[in-house]
Structure 1
Amino acid sequence: MQIETGVSLKPYNTFGLPAAAVHLVRITSDADVRQVVDHPELGKAPKFILGGGSNVILTRDMPELVLKIEVPGLRVVAERDDATIVEAGAGVAWHSLVAWTLDQGLPGLENMALIPGTVGASPVQNVGAYGLEVKDRLESLDTVDLVTGRTVTLWPDQCAFGYRDSVFKRALAGKCVITRVRFRLPKPWQPVLGYLDLERKMAETGNHAPDARTIFDWVCSIRSAKLPDPAVIGNVGSFFKNPVVTAEQCRDIIARDPNIVHYPMPDGSFKLAAGWMIDACGWKGKTIGHAGVYEKQALVLVNRGGAVGSEVQTLARAIQESVYGRFGIRLEAEPLMV
């Protein structure tokens, strides 16, 4: 185990915010985590788990021990009648996993192409896009307990998945490290197409029976048109969750703003488009300090160049207050503010 000191975290967060870790350990296996746990000093130290840095806003230097998750590996672990099970190391880039499965002729994750971040972070946030979420494909995952050093396998019903939520953001927050994740790719494959942007692609192309590779290409095209590349413009993707409201609340808001974009949910509630509300409040393209709202998609906050975490925090709070003042809805940020 190598302990690095005074490490800049700017390359390790997709918003490109300046911060430094007093101490950092790169985790490439379960054994690395156990070495940290067994270390006489590091084992007792407060810890911060860092994956791809695509869901974190760093507002300060990190006195905690930063565990940089870099567990590698992609493989097929089982072939069943109903599904193929694939396993990925927690440090693998999420999009690399999606592309790899298609290269192996194993469809099922294509709707979630181009989501930033790592495989290990995907269950924490229950990432999703275009009608599919990680919970829909998760088979199981391995964690290492940060107190005992034991490896524990968890199944979907133990992960308490919700909309951009899981047990790893709540009861297990900071208590374990996800090291490997296994996904269930169903047989036979069925496309997930009930999303407006994909329906538009079908109408535009005349292809109403796309294969998995076509859906992958469509999703990449749609996301690239809406969302800036973090390598070019610092960002964390969608900054706010789309709020879920009751049918009665939705009717009240529609009465005031008939054009608000909303989607019915299976339980009778409605999901409101946070980006539409932010745009309606006049924030698209606006800037506070060096942090701004993306011109093409109001749900995305960006680094105009030289932004610091406090500027992002100030901008986010100002947007939340505007939306609350107009719609009576308190937007919840997706990324963790540290």
Structure 2
Amino acid sequence: MTETELTLIPDFDLSGRNTLALKAASRFGVVLETTESIAALFALAEARGLPLRILGGGSNVVLAPEFDGITAIIASKGKFLVENTDGHVVVEAAAGEVWHDFVGWTVAQGFGGIENLAGIPGTVGAAPVQNIGAYGAEVADVFESLVAFDTKTRSLRTFALDECAFAYRDSVFKHEPGRYVVVSLRLRLKKPWTPNLRFAGLSELADLPRLDPKAVMERVVAIRNSKLPDWRVTPNAGSFFQNPIVSLEEVTPLLARFPNAPNFSQADGRTKLSAGWLIEQSGLKGFRLGKAGVSDRHALVVINLGGAAAEDIAALAAHIKATVMERFGIALHEEPVFT
């Protein structure tokens, strides 16, 4: 695809392309359906001297009201079975696929391994960047490889597991924001399948006479729906803060004051705390600040009460962080990117 074949849409409305439903627009917008179009777009943006940003499902962003440049939506599609052996299958999906649809597709094929990650909003391309995780599983557990467009070299690059530097809600792609655009993702799912039932609410599934990935996926979705507001009904960006991982020096005085605080030892000697618990114990569950608020269903979810803008979300986030710091001495960090 050449630059001239790209269709730039002026005054591109993004209000329906972010799960917080923030009113937002871009000077230009474009929907990218092929890998070739990504390279052409970067060349075009450079030639015109326009800033460029890439969006997937808009589920992990807080959009400014105006962006004086080009906003590109990754919309490539395709789900494939790459390899099938006695010990594993390798599946691949294009970056523009809806993540939950990809999970459902693997389960429908009879393949288990990512059913615990069902219901997470966003696209396949965003999943490895954030190293999304839920219910005792994360993308890194089953990662095989990915292909990304390198905006510096203007070429495609394949990443193996050890090149991604995966950690809790982290990857090499977050440390070089804007450099790589994920094109496709491959996952290796083990055979025979072993269910991951460590998380509360899943363990009782072990008593079922016949357990399959579909049953686990359905239970995960049911748990999520019971706890988290649906972004299509109550606009939100999912978990707004990361669970803080703190040092022994930080966690010791906290547990001395609050011995019932949820805490989880990490392999490196640090301790993971529950951001949701910290926020709720700070009296902020259901809190409202202008047009933004904290969900009364789950303290980790920031919601748009109607007509909120990025500044409203930022003000609420700052208030939450300051309140938790004052009460517990623990710093919180946002998951969504402000852009």
The residue aligned with 2:3 is: none
The residue aligned with 1:150 is: 155
Contact map agreement 2:131 2:171 (CA 8 A) in 1: yes
Counterpart residue type for residue 83 of structure 1? H
1:26 maps to which of 19, 31, 34: 31
| 1:29-51 CA-partner distances (Å, limit 9, x unpaired) | 11101211333755753221101
Structure 1 residue ranges (4+ consecutive) displaced by more than 4 angstroms after TM superposition: 40-44
| 1:6-31 CA-partner distances (Å, limit 9, x unpaired) | 11111110000011011112111111
The residue aligned with 1:292 is: 293
Shift of 1:249: 2.8
| 1:207-256 CA-partner distances (Å, limit 9, x unpaired) | 39742111111100110011111111100110000001123432321111
Change beyond 3 A, Cα 1:23–1:42: farther
2:51 maps to which of 46, 54, 70: 46
Contact map agreement 1:33 1:149 (CA 8 A) in 2: no
Instruction: Give percent identity, aligned residues only.
Output: 42
Contact map agreement 1:33 1:146 (CA 8 A) in 2: no
| 1:286-334 CA-partner distances (Å, limit 9, x unpaired) | 1111111000110001111111111111000000000001111110000
Contact map agreement 1:37 1:43 (CA 8 A) in 2: no
The residue aligned with 1:246 is: 247
Structure 1 spans left out of the alignment, 5+ residues: none
Q: 2:325 & 2:72 partners in 1: Cα distance?
A: 36
Q: 1:100 & 1:36 partners in 2: Cα distance?
A: 30
Contact map agreement 2:45 2:51 (CA 8 A) in 1: no
The residue aligned with 1:193 is: 197
| 1:48-102 CA-partner distances (Å, limit 9, x unpaired) | 1101000001133111321211010011011234311111010111000000001
The residue aligned with 1:216 is: 217
Contact map agreement 2:95 2:185 (CA 8 A) in 1: yes
Counterpart residue type for residue 280 of structure 1? Q
Q: 2:36 & 2:187 partners in 1: Cα distance?
A: 23
Q: 1:52 & 1:162 partners in 2: Cα distance?
A: 22
Q: 1:11 & 1:208 partners in 2: Cα distance?
A: 44
Contact map agreement 2:110 2:213 (CA 8 A) in 1: no
The residue aligned with 1:271 is: 272
Counterpart residue type for residue 156 of structure 1? L
Residue 253 of structure 1 aligns to a residue whose secondary structure is helix
Q: 2:266 & 2:199 partners in 1: Cα distance?
A: 13
In the superposition, the TM-score normalised over structure 1's length comes to 0.94
| 1:261-287 CA-partner distances (Å, limit 9, x unpaired) | 112223332111110110111101111
The residue aligned with 2:118 is: 113
Residue 201 of structure 2 aligns to a residue whose secondary structure is helix
Residue 121 of structure 2 aligns to a residue whose secondary structure is coil
Change beyond 3 A, Cα 1:218–1:311: same
Contact map agreement 1:202 1:208 (CA 8 A) in 2: no
Counterpart residue type for residue 232 of structure 1? V
Range with bigger deviation, 149-158 or 116-125: 149-158
Q: 1:35 & 1:332 partners in 2: Cα distance?
A: 35
The residue aligned with 1:337 is: 338
Counterpart residue type for residue 191 of structure 1? P
Change beyond 3 A, Cα 1:284–1:62: same
Contact map agreement 1:42 1:65 (CA 8 A) in 2: no
The residue aligned with 2:229 is: 228
Change beyond 3 A, Cα 1:40–1:336: closer
In the superposition, the TM-score normalised over structure 2's length comes to 0.94
